[in-house]
Amino acid sequence: MNREMRRLQKKEEERARRRRKQGPRQRQQRRPGEEKPSIWARLRQYFREVRLELNKVAWPTAQQTMTFTVVVLIVTVVVTALTFGFDFTLKKAVLTVLDAG
């Protein structure tokens, strides 16, 4: 393990030790008189956060998407053909053995 990994592990162990010392986390309580937001406000907040997260995604280009699609289709056809070939061959072999006996 290199120095950086040891340093990170030591830091993580220290954090874990502090968390154990603090005990279980308590849920954050609402202040007296503070109302729970309406369902519509919470949904609006949820979708706002989803949109912000989706903006952070590194989306593939149209060319990459087309390439990946073609690769998936080719691999699917090859695996299907192999599975059919093995199945057909094993069926013939089993029937030949059973007919011979």
The domain locations on the chain are 62-101
Q: What is the pLDDT of residues 61-74, one digit of tens each?
A: 999 999 999 999 99
Are the C-beta atoms of 36 and 44 separated by less than 8 Å?
no
3-state DSSP assignment of residue 48: helix
Query: What is the pTM assigned to this prediction?
Result: 0.49
Q: What is the pLDDT of residues 21-64, one digit of tens each?
A: 888 777 777 777 788 889 999 999 999 999 999 999 999 999 99
Owner of token pair 């998936």: 72
CA–CA separation, 75 and 73 (whole Å):
6
Are the C-beta atoms of 30 and 36 separated by less than 8 Å?
yes
| CA-only gyration radius of the chain, Å | 29
